Amino acid sequence: MSSRPERSGAAPVLVGRDLSREYGDFLALDSLQVDLLPGQLVALVGPNGAGKTTFLTIAAGLLEPTAGTLEVEGAAAGSIGARGVVSYLPDTPVFYDDLSLGEHLEYVAALHGVSDDGARSRQLLERLGLSDWGDSLPSEFSHGMRQKASIALALVRPFSLLLADEPFDGLDPPSRDVLFQLFAEAREAGAAIVVSTHRRDVVGSADRCLALRDGKLAYDGPPDAEALAEYFELSSRPGSVLPPA
C-alpha cells in the first residue's frame, strides 16, 4: 500500500488539544496536540508504556481525558456524533459469548445503518478467509482467526476514522496483505486511519508517523527510519526493527 499526499484544504477528521491522561501519579499522556486529515494513514509508534493505547482509547471514546479535548469531525470523543464515525480495532479482540461470527457482523452492521442485505459482511469474510466460519462462535477460533474476525467487525460499518491497535499481530502474510488492501480502500473513500504498530512494513506504508515517548509527542513527520529508530522498542517481535535509513 503506497503512501498518498494529504488532501489539501480538507478539514481535520480528528483534533486533539492539550490532551492529558493521568493514572494516579502516572502521566500517560502529557498535553498532546494532534490533527489528523482525511485519507491519511498514520503510524503511531513508541515503546510500551509510551501512551499509544491510551491515546487510541480516548479517541475511541472509551476513556475520559484528565485534561484537554479531543474531537472527531467536530464532535467530542465518546459522544453519539463521534461514535457514529469512529471505528475501533482493539489489540485484544472482544466478542459476545453467545453470538456466531455472522450474528456479530449482522448486529454491528444493523447498529450503524448498513442495509446491503449482508453483502459487505460476506465480502469481508471471503477476503479474510472466514467464509466457512460465519455460523461458528469466535470462542472456537484460533488467535489469528479471532484477529481476522475483529478486523471484519471494525470494517463492516461506515467510518471516517479507524483506530487500530497492533492490528497486524497474529496475521499470516496473506492476511496482512488483505488488511493493507482494505486499509487502502478505506483511505480512498476518505477515512483517516491510525495504526499503533511495531512493524516496519506498516511504518513504511504510512503517510505520517507520530512517535510517543513518556506520554509526549516526540516526533511528527514522514516515516524516516533513522529519525524513528530511537522510539521503537527493539524486541523479538517479527518486523519490529526498522531497516537502515
What is the tens place of the pLDDT at every residue in 152-196? 999 999 999 999 999 998 899 999 999 999 999 999 999 999 999
Residue located via cell numbers 512493524? 199
- Same structural domain for residues 81 and 186? yes
How many domains are there within the chain? 2
Out of 135, 158, 181, a domain closes at: 158
- Same structural domain for residues 150 and 230? no
Residue 90 lies in a domain: no
- Same structural domain for residues 21 and 138? no
- Same structural domain for residues 62 and 171? yes
* 186: containing domain: 11-85+159-245
- Same structural domain for residues 78 and 109? no
What is the tens place of the pLDDT at every residue in 69-110? 999 999 999 999 999 999 999 999 999 999 999 999 999 999
Residue 232 lies in a domain: yes
Helix (H, G, I), strand (E, B) or coil at 127: helix
Residue 242 lies in a domain: yes
The amino acid that residue 133 corresponds to is: W
- Same structural domain for residues 177 and 118? no
Residue 113 DSSP label: T
> How far is it, in rounded angstroms, from Cα 114 to Cα 137?
22
Helix (H, G, I), strand (E, B) or coil at 40: coil
